[in-house]
Structure 1
């Protein structure tokens, strides 16, 4: 299994675009420099009035299927 750490800073305004159907994926750079594209819905439980902010660990299986997203801070 692979794990990637992402620093996410997404404003509430930008996250709201998901509900209008304009945005379905989050593209972020990992701390080691890789670009990762994930379904924005995987971060839904981390949304606050300010949006989504913090360090997140993303876990994938051997076929690169998303297993879990965990907030680190």
Structure 2
């Protein structure tokens, strides 16, 4: 299983626009420089009034299928 760490900073307005159907995925760079595309729904439980902010550990299986997203700080 592979793990990456992302630093996500997505304002509430931008999240709202994405959630309204303008986008279904979050594209971000991992701390080690890899660009990843993840379903926005994987971050839904981390949404606050300020949007989505923080460091997240993302775990994938051997087929690169998303297993989990965990906020680490």
Common fold: TM-score over 0.5: yes
Q: What is the count of residue pairs matched by the alignment? A: 73
TM-score by length of 2: 0.97
State the SS of the aligned residue for 1:21.
helix
Aligned-pair Cα RMSD in Å? 0.6
What runs of 5+ residues in structure 1 fail to find an aligned partner?
Answer: none
Structure 1 distance, partners of 2:29, 2:19, is 23
What runs of 5+ residues in structure 2 fail to find an aligned partner?
Answer: none
TM-score by length of 1: 0.97
Query: Which consecutive segments of 4 or more residues in structure 1 shift more than 3 A?
Result: none
User: 1:12 matched to which residue of 2?
Assistant: 12
